[in-house]
Amino acid sequence: MDKLKMQTPDLSEENIKKIAEIFPNVITEQQDENGDIVKGVDFDLLKQELSKNIVEGGEERYRLDWPGKKSSILKANTPITDKTLRPIPEESVDFENTENLYIEGDNFEVLKLLQESYLGKIKMIYIDPPYNTGKDFVYSDNFTQSKEEYDLETKAVDGEGTKLFKNTTTNGRFHSDWLCMMYERLVLAKDLLKDDGVIFISIDDNEVHNLRKICDEVFGEGNFISSFIWKKTENIKMDSHFVSINKDFVLCYKKGKLTAFNKEMSDEDRFKLLDNKGKYYLRKLDSLSSSYSKSMDYVIEYEGKKYYPGGSFEKWKDRQDNGANRKDATWLWSKQKFEEGVTNEEIIFKNGNVYNKIRFTGEAKKPFTDFIDADSGQSAQKDLNELFDGRRIFDHPKPINLISWIYNLIGENNSSDIILDFFSGSATTAHAVMQLNVEDGGK
């Protein structure tokens, strides 16, 4: 028997939906008179949409705001005095000698407690936080509650089990609560990083745009390194209405003083030419520079022939007469270095171009790309299930070599770097770091 709906339609909510169809940019999240987060309308912005003149209102500024942001800042800055970490030797392995810590508890409180002992000591943080898909968790004060537990706690079902509230993408609290949860934890995480420390955060399309904004604010926009792409699945989702989403992102930010990442070995086969000094390949000596330098813009004369950066006398002459643009072509070497290269037989003139020899040193290296070379999520799920005798204990674990690939960007052999993961999940980070230690003797 169908249950009767004991509530008339919410006309205000229906009107907001109609406005959203025409002006989606004016729909926002805000607090109602009870302090709850609900969908609402930015009336100042709506007035502007309907006006032919500039509507005076609040001061405009470039930033991301949401209900609860100020409370998150206060919460992150307020010390806690009634909590401590308690060791449990009876549940530990080799408690007296191990240098690893696995901590159970609210990760926000634990991040505060770690400030005293680990402030500025963490080299790398990797986290795989909830993606806020609206399917798995509700973000209230208890971030481990399932939707069913939350529904019961907040009386979101009536006596007959009819749901009165549902946490979906149309719910007003959807983005704001997730942003509060992430923001206050990232503020604490930044303080734990070393000056040359780095944080990596796995995320998908649902919140990557908001995560970029709050990370820009917490770590600084200039400390953004990359939005790496990881192919999480090989399977094509046949029920996708538009495209099959097969990727996740891994956002990367540095604390501040890191100047470079490690490089990976490149293919020795590209060094196919050989002279009495060894193997090499040829690189054009002129290039489109990221910033024009007049000291690199000169004419090369060799055996009665003139060579111009970019190959054109007309463009070179125009630069001399009218000034250069920032990205005009120049030589890669100064005139003095070029002349030394000719003397040392490191310069080749060929087919109307000038080349220098790139020597093979035995350690030919190239930068890593922003495409992560790691196993898929299916492979990780299979490996994890095998650890538990075929039982599926965790959903969507990350592969071990994803963490290894990330650490290879920053790590060194036999290092004593400290790695932190405060959304541990299936403990992939712990597994990967322990395995790396076995392989390279690190600590």
The structure's pTM equals 0.67
pLDDT band at residue 210 under the 50/70/90 scheme: very high
pLDDT band at residue 239 under the 50/70/90 scheme: confident
CB 118 within 8 A of CB 128: no
Whole-number Cα distances in Å, 222 to 113, 228, 256, 335, 423: 29, 17, 9, 34, 26
**pLDDT value for 411:** 77
Supply the mean pLDDT for the chain: 81
**Alpha-carbon distance 131 to 135, whole Å?**
10
Residue 157 pLDDT exceeds 70: no
pLDDT tens, position by position, 2-28:
555 555 566 777 888 888 888 887 888
* Mean local confidence (pLDDT), 318-336: 82
pLDDT band at residue 186 under the 50/70/90 scheme: very high
Tally of CB atoms within 10 A around 170: 12
pLDDT band at residue 203 under the 50/70/90 scheme: very high
CB 355 within 8 A of CB 252: no
pLDDT band at residue 422 under the 50/70/90 scheme: very high
| Helices of type H across 274-363 | 313-322, 335-343
**pLDDT value for 3:** 56
Most confident of 1-15, 136-150, 202-216, 394-408: 202-216
Name all domains of the chain by residue range, CATH numbers in brackets.
11-60 (no CATH), 73-134+169-262+368-440 (3.40.50.150), 264-366 (no CATH)
Residue 297 pLDDT exceeds 80: yes
